[in-house]
Amino acid sequence: MSGRLLIALLVSPLPLAANPVAEGADPHAIVIGRDYWMYPTEARSRRPVFAAYRSTDLRSWRREGTILELDKIPWIKDDGAPRHAAWAPALAVKNRKAYFYYSVGPQNPTPSRIGVAVGNSPAGPFKDSGKPLLTGGDGFEAIDPMVFVDPSDGKAWFYAGGSAGATLRVFEMADDMISFKREVAIEQPPKFTEGAFMHRRGKTCYLSYSHGKWNDSSYSVHYCTAPSPTGPWTYRGAILESDDTHQGPGHHSFVENPVTKQWFIVYHRWETSRKEPPMRGGRKIAVEKVDYDNEGLIRRIRMTDGKSPASPIPAAARD
C-alpha cells in the first residue's frame, strides 16, 4: 500500500457498500432531488473537518469532498482551547440554499459551541456565518444540532443539546436560517441524553434521540410522538438497542424515499459482541428499514449485517 493511499484511508471514512455502509459516526442523512446526502463525524480525521457523502440508493456512498475546515474559521479559536473537534453535523435546505450546522468541541474546560455555514449546494462550498449560533454553559452542552423544516407550514425548528447536561433546547429559526427568532420552552423528553432528530409522517411528529453513554452498550435510540414539532411529547420507548454482535447504536437520522414513501434510519454502532465499557475502535455507519404499525408507531428495529437495504429514488422525483 502506498503512503499516499494510507494517508487517505486515515483521514476519511471508507465507503463499504454493505452494512455497515461507511466508517464514521453521528450521520445526518437527507434527500435532495434524486440523491441521498450524508454528513457524519469524520472517522480518524487528523484535522477537524466535515465532508459530504452522496448516494443514489442508500447502500453505496461516495465522498464528495471536504466542505468545512474548522482551522480556517476565525471565531473557532476565540475560546483559547489548544485543540478543537468537529462533531455531529446536520444539513437543512430552505430558500434555495443549504445550511450546515455543526458542533465544535471541546466541552471542557471551555464550553462547546454550534456554528452554521451557508452554501448553494449540498456539496458546498460552505461559508461560515462568522460567529457561533449557540454556546454552552450553565449545565447545557451546545452539541448535536438538528434543524427540521416542517413541510406543513415551512417553519424551521432547531434542536440541540445533551451529553453531560442531558438537556434539550428548541428554537424557532429566523428567516435567514443563521439566527433564532425565539426559544420555545419544552418539557424534557423521558430518557433524553443527546442526538435529537425530528421527522414528520402525516399529522404526527416523531422526536427521536439517543439515550445512554456514547461509548457504552447502553447507548440506544428512543422516541416520542407529538402533534407538533415542539410537543407535547408522548414517550413511546426504545426502538434500537445493542444486541449480541453490535453495541451502542445511536446518534441517528431518519430519511424517506420521496416516491416509495419508505422510511430508513441511518445510525452508528460498534461492531463487537463485547459489552464491557468503554467501547473501543472506530464506529461504523449502518442503514436499516423502518416500519410503522397501524397506529403509526415505529416498530422495533433490528440491526443487520451484509447487504444493506437499497432504495433508489425513481425518476419521478427528478427536479
pLDDT in tens, 32-88: 999 999 999 999 778 999 999 999 999 999 999 999 999 999 999 999 999 999 999
CA atoms within 13 A on the CB side of 217: 13
Cβ burial, residue 133 (10 Å; 0-12/13-18/19+): buried
Q: Is 8 helix (H, G, I), strand (E, B) or coil?
A: helix
- The number of angstroms, rounded, from the C-alpha of 191 to the middle of its chain's C-alpha atoms is 18
Per-residue confidence (pLDDT) for residue 283, from 0 to 100: 96
> Shortest CA distance to 38 belongs to which of 291, 265, 302, 298?
265
Identify the bridge partners of residue 256 per DSSP, sorted by sequence position: 263
161 neighbors 186 (Cβ within 8 angstroms): no
Residue bearing cell 469524520: 42
Torsion of CA 29, 159, 189, 255, to 10 degrees: -20
Residues of the chain with pLDDT under 50: 1-14, 318-319
Per-residue confidence (pLDDT) for residue 308, from 0 to 100: 79
Average pLDDT, whole number, for the chain?
Answer: 92
Cβ burial, residue 75 (10 Å; 0-12/13-18/19+): middle
Pick the CATH number of 3-317 from 2.60.34.10, 2.115.10.20, 3.20.20.70, 3.30.365.10: 2.115.10.20
What whole-number distance in Å separates Cα of residue 219 and Cα of residue 27? 15
207 neighbors 168 (Cβ within 8 angstroms): no
169-173/263-270 β-pairing: unpaired
Per-residue confidence (pLDDT) for residue 163, from 0 to 100: 83
Identify the bridge partners of residue 28 per DSSP, sorted by sequence position: 39
Residue bearing cell 454528513: 39
